[in-house]
Amino acid sequence: MPLTFSIYLPPDLSEAVRAEAERRGSSVARVFRDSIVSTLGIESYREIDRRRLPRAGRAN
């Protein structure tokens, strides 16, 4: 199940994200997500899922 959360952005940061989204022609959500991914130093959100989910193993 996807992780969903809400984050409060101060007005100046919110405006910066909106401006970047408009500049890219992208959604605010995508710009914010890309920012989180680059801040964490990972390749994508899928990498977060791989780290969080236990590896499937054979039942004994």
For the segment 10-37, the average pLDDT, to the nearest whole number, is: 87
Report the pLDDT value the prediction gives residue 9, as an integer from 0 to 100. Answer: 77
- Using CA atoms, how far apart are residues 43 and 48, in angstroms rounded to an integer? 9
pLDDT tens digit string along 27-55? Answer: 888 888 888 778 877 776 665 555 555 55
How far is Cα 13 from Cα 48, in angstroms, rounded to an integer? 24
The pLDDT score that the predictor gives to residue 30 is 86
pLDDT score, position 38: 80
